[in-house]
Structure 1
Amino acid sequence: MNSTLLKRLFAIAIFQFSIFNLSITSAQTTFFHRYTVYFTDKNNNPFSVAHPEDFLSSRSLLRRSNQNISVDALDIPVTPQYVDSIRSTGVQVLYTSRWLNCATIFTFDSLALQHIREFPFVIKMDSVANIHPLPQNQNSNSELLPLKTECINNSYYGLGEKQITQVQGQVLHQQGFKGEGMLIASLDAGWTNSQVLLVFDSLRNRGGILTTKNFVNPAQSVYGFSNHGSSTLSAMASNLPGLFVGTAPNADYVLLLSEEAAGEHPVEELNWVAAAEYADSIGADIITSSLGYSVFDTVFTNSDTTVFNHTYADMNGNTTPCSIAAHIASQKGMIVCNSAGNSGGDAWHYITAPSDAEDILCVGAVDSNSVYAPFSGHGPSADERVKPDIMGRGAWTYVVNANTGVVSMSNGTSFSCPLIAGLVACLWQAHPGKTNLEIIDAVRMSGSTYDSPNDSMGYGLANFAYADLLLGNFNKQSLDNDWLKIYPSPFDDVLNLNVNVTATQNARFDFTDVTGRTILTICTEVYPGFNHIILSTQNLAAGIYFMRATANDVSVFEKVVKQ
């Protein structure tokens, strides 16, 4: 064999070995498959605060303008050139975060990760999940699911009556505030069958679901994966009078899937951030999130164990990504309502992120007797702010079961949160000139334990009738020395009663004419603290009446005049 042939064979062998070695090297896979890449800056960016219309909707800009909030550097998107450079390595960019200045990616390729780390504009890269493959949707039903109920309630609210009147939400509805013009962004794990459930028939027919977006697997619909979102949505958006009505039946909604239902991974916090930013960009007024993060799935490899868990010290409002984002969302003029979590009886015990964020409403749970539900997460935040901020019905709360169409009782702060969020939207609708922080303050001040907050109830059970009056410059001291106030005098077809009671009870109001004949009797359940009752008196003729009001184990008589 001549020397030339030997050289050729040697060269071929070297080439084949190189190709073989390259294929092995490029095939090296990482155990983690999702990463968050953080950038050093937003330099060389084509976007600027001078032209916010390029990246924020007109509705988003109007919300800022109405509250004198300026567009700033946090609003500017991530530098597109940085994202393009990362994408050029072959990884999949799932989404970016302008608030945290980062991108979340999906890849198996360790060489691509090494390449990304070497970019001068990359400050760090965190592994956030070992999920593979990207979750796929479970098929939803295509046929309309009829409404089924455990029992029928003849009131307007049907089965939803007690959980709404317990927080005096009916007072807002009676004034015509049912969420019209308000946009609520729901962040959850999926909305199985929400496109066919009868409780959402009115919502669908009026086009009340403005858009949907999946941040876990962008190629998939949100109508699947989990029943949870359908149940939380039903607490707000259901609208079947006499059967089941929610707290904001006329609001508009966006459904944003940010939760990985199959496990618990740090990437879900980044999903939450991306969803909140999207809600901001399209102009949402309210974010409701029945999600929380503290303990994650432990990751075991052949040589190592990775624990991502938060500590209670992290619940200080400025450590976890989703809590930082929740506070930024508030700074952008939105109201964030987040569940306190269901760890009250567990070793964790406390609230979970992002409910520790500043200037949001962390919502805990009470039962039908307004008593603290033992599963509801405890405060305070790690930096000793009062948490939870407010309470609503979360034990034995009526919501829809997405698989069966049954409206029945369920437990969890997952359900007290949307119940409160819907009424927050109605309250803001009633007071459109107020800022998000003014609305939040009024809701807190309406709480049953506002004057003496504690770690389980926070500021206490919400009272939206009281919050409504507070925003209208109502003087709290007017009820300090008397449990009943009646106005206006004289009245037309509506008579307002402010009632302050010490325990849940039935209050009775009897109207008699000047001859002593009983003309009208009204009975209604009232709850501890302030109650605002709106009595319809259309059936009363003009004249002088004597009203006997019975509550607090006493009766008082008042002369009232209908004109």
Structure 2
Amino acid sequence: MKKALLFFVFLLTATAFSQEDAWVYFTDKPMAQFYLDNPLTMLSQRALDRRTTQGIALNVQDTPIHQTYIDQITAATGIIVKAQSKWLNALHIRGSQTDIAALTTLPFVDRIQYANHSLNPGGRPAPQANQTTQRINKFLETQEDYNYGGSNVQVQMLNANWLHQQDFTGTGKVIAVMDAGFPGVNTQTPFQRLRDNNLILGGYDFVNRVANPYTGFQHGTQVLSNMGGYADNELIGTAPNAQYYLFITEDTNSENPLEESNWVEALEMADSLGVDVVNTSLGYFTYDNPAYSYVYADMNGQTSFSSRAAEIAFSKGMICVTSAGNSGSGANPYISVPADAVSTLAIGAVNSSEIKAAFSSIGPSFDGRIKPDLMAMGVGVTVATQTGAIATNNGTSFAGPILAGAIASFWSAFPNKTNAEIIQLVKASADRFTNPNNDYGYGIPDFQLAYNNALLSTSAFSKKSFSIYPNPAQNQITITFTDAISSAEIAFYNNLGQLVLQKPIKDNQTIALDNLNSGIYFYKVTFDTVSETGKLIKK
């Protein structure tokens, strides 16, 4: 990650590193079935509900790492466990190369992946001792009719103010903010509305392993203000009524792959708490140890630990919104990780005239995909600081949260749509959707257009309506379609989010319910790319 103010560039000479960072991956999860049978022991009800709404079944990724494996790694000679990921079934460890390599003798260890690329099979050579690495600091200086003040342009550029006028302000949606710190959020006036309305649900500092997010570097404070800040006639965020979790994953004192692992661990916590949208104004490319740094070939959505986890987050029903990066005018102008992940929305920056900022990182991903995905204002952005002052700042760090909040507000208008449907609607509303490029991606979204398109798709489904009867039911139900639908699929989930029945269906089809216990079930009917959800009571 490039961690100093964007316009401050300095050279770092590589020094000797006696300790190595690595990830140790395990072969299995012996207790997985227990957790799958008892999902509330690993996920909140809200997380299960999000899966149910989107038709997402639980799987082994959701289950915790086997504690016995963690204990044995912790007890190993010279090994320090720094972070963990249940999705990837891995621990981030630190130790000498000899001590790390000794772990491969353990029967439950599948493989070791070193952060030092030269130590992995087929890895690229380590840099020479006198090699220098260029680091660039990323942290830069209707019913609701808000007085946006200085934030007017950044909100109206996306037509997010139109959403607010329709009373779509993020209510019912939860956003997790992963950043470097949130000092002042618990005391300053621009965040008082969040506090008074209990919209900050909690937080955690993964760097220091304490439950206090109101410390660290104020970058996160400013980022949060673009979504949830409220200072009448000065600053209004794009999702003022969403709920928030605040996670510190970034250590500003060093640049190490551990920050990626902290980020992944926070992402998994966000999932377990039922978060809908994740904002990340962080990116990783170079590290203090040059042997750990990435090259452009790694920007493929599959190489980095964080990008692989971001893709899993999408499969769990969340939307990850990630700043594209501030290296557009540097030696490595491309997007960083995890912005390179396939399903993550990488956000670039434009000025108030909708012209791309020179610093905004470009695409494509190394494997040729369009990146960045979308653009928002990132030059002269109005923010709130840790002292409560209203100021301006620059960076994709702020374009990302402006758009993340707008997405949460938009999703609150269509809470039953899947994350994939929301992303497609937002992209399709962007001004370069039919002619994307590597500077602007699909362009700047228009949320009024996205809303209208969503209504059209919903009404189109309604015209092809279906009926399920009887409801409540006993041993069977019948499903009927209008003539416009030839076939579809139905899935039933229990109140723990577990998939209990799934099958293709046709008009006037009878489905037996003998194997289902009495209770309330959620169903999801899918036709083409459109879906509809509802509840069924089994007597």
Same fold (TM over 0.5): yes
Please, what is the CA RMSD of the aligned residues? Answer: 2.3
Q: CA deviation at 1:221?
A: 2.7
**Which aligned runs of 4 or more in structure 1 are off by greater than 4 angstroms?**
109-115, 126-129
Is residue 2:60 matched to residue 1:42? no
Question: Deviations along 1:442-463, whole A, 9 cap, x unmatched?
Answer: 1111111111111100000111
Q: Which amino acid aligns with 1:274?
A: E
Give the match's secondary structure for 2:456: coil
Q: CA deviation at 1:128?
A: 4.8
Change (3 A) 1:268 1:128: farther
43-52 or 196-205, larger mean C-alpha shift = 43-52
Give the match's secondary structure for 1:81: helix
Q: CA deviation at 1:94?
A: 3.8
| TM, length-normalised to structure 2 | 0.73
Give the match's secondary structure for 2:88: coil
Change (3 A) 1:33 1:217: farther
Give the match's secondary structure for 1:438: helix
Equivalent position to 1:222, from 209, 213, 217: 213
Map of 1:320 onto structure 2? 304
Is residue 2:273 matched to residue 1:289? no
Give the match's secondary structure for 1:324: helix
Map of 1:99 onto structure 2? 87
Is residue 2:430 matched to residue 1:442? no
Map of 1:543 onto structure 2? none
Give the match's secondary structure for 2:176: strand
Higher relative contact order (CA 8 A, sep 6+): 2
Map of 1:478 onto structure 2? none
Q: Distance in 2 between matches of 1:326 and 1:110?
A: 28
Change (3 A) 1:89 1:243: same
Equivalent position to 1:81, from 68, 73, 82: 68
Equivalent position to 1:65, from 24, 49, 52: 52
Q: Distance in 1 between matches of 2:206 and 2:336?
A: 21
Question: Deviations along 1:504-524, whole A, 9 cap, x unmatched?
Answer: xxxxxxxxxxxxxxxxxxxxx
Q: Which amino acid aligns with 2:438?
A: D
Map of 1:399 onto structure 2? 383
Give the match's secondary structure for 1:234: helix
Is residue 2:445 matched to residue 1:472? no
Contact 1:379/1:455 (8 A) holds in 2? yes
Q: CA deviation at 1:123?
A: 2.8
Q: Distance in 1 between matches of 2:268 and 2:48?
A: 13
Map of 2:262 onto structure 1? 271
Is residue 2:184 matched to residue 1:200? no
Contact 1:179/1:425 (8 A) holds in 2? yes
Q: Distance in 1 between matches of 2:300 and 2:243?
A: 32
Map of 2:484 onto structure 1? none
Map of 2:519 onto structure 1? none
Question: Deviations along 1:331-376, whole A, 9 cap, x unmatched?
Answer: 1100110000001101101111111111221111110001111111
Contact 2:23/2:90 (8 A) holds in 1? yes
Question: Deviations along 1:153-201, whole A, 9 cap, x unmatched?
Answer: x961122111101110011100111111110000001112221121101
Q: Which amino acid aligns with 2:91?
A: A
Q: Distance in 2 between matches of 1:55 and 1:313?
A: 36
Q: CA deviation at 1:127?
A: 5.1
Q: CA deviation at 1:223?
A: 1.7
Q: Which amino acid aligns with 1:205?
A: D
Q: CA deviation at 1:474?
A: 7.1
Alignment of 1:492-511 (within 5 A): none
Map of 1:360 onto structure 2? 344
Map of 1:415 onto structure 2? 398
Contact 1:286/1:336 (8 A) holds in 2? yes
Give the match's secondary structure for 1:307: helix
Q: Which amino acid aligns with 1:188?
A: D
Question: Deviations along 1:374-395, whole A, 9 cap, x unmatched?
Answer: 1111011112111111110001
Alignment of 1:151-230 (within 5 A): 156-219=147-210, 221-230=212-221
Q: Which amino acid aligns with 1:294?
A: F
Q: Distance in 1 between matches of 2:235 and 2:309?
A: 34
Map of 1:237 onto structure 2? 228
Is residue 2:242 matched to residue 1:254? no
Report % sequence identity.
39
Q: CA deviation at 1:426?
A: 0.5
Contact 1:45/1:80 (8 A) holds in 2? no
Q: Which amino acid aligns with 1:246?
A: G
Give the match's secondary structure for 1:271: helix
Q: Which amino acid aligns with 2:418?
A: T
Change (3 A) 1:112 1:220: farther
Unaligned runs of 5+ in 2: 1-16, 117-144, 459-539
Contact 1:390/1:443 (8 A) holds in 2? no
Contact 2:234/2:390 (8 A) holds in 1? no
Please say which structure displays the higher CA radius of gyration: 1
Contact 1:366/1:392 (8 A) holds in 2? yes
Q: Distance in 2 between matches of 1:280 and 1:120?
A: 30
Equivalent position to 2:434, from 444, 447, 451: 451
Unaligned runs of 5+ in 1: 1-29, 130-153, 299-305, 476-563
Contact 1:47/1:77 (8 A) holds in 2? no
Q: Distance in 1 between matches of 2:421 and 2:316?
A: 14
Change (3 A) 1:126 1:221: farther
Q: CA deviation at 1:399?
A: 0.8
Q: Which amino acid aligns with 1:342?
A: N
Q: CA deviation at 1:46?
A: 6.5
Q: Distance in 1 between matches of 2:170 and 2:209?
A: 29
Q: Which amino acid aligns with 1:104?
A: H
Q: Distance in 1 between matches of 2:264 and 2:351?
A: 31
Q: Distance in 2 between matches of 1:279 and 1:155?
A: 30
Question: Deviations along 1:19-62, whole A, 9 cap, x unmatched?
Answer: xxxxxxxxxxx832754322122235564423222211110010
Give the match's secondary structure for 2:306: helix
Contact 2:427/2:433 (8 A) holds in 1? yes
Change (3 A) 1:106 1:431: same
Number of corresponding residues:
414
Q: Which amino acid aligns with 1:310?
A: Y
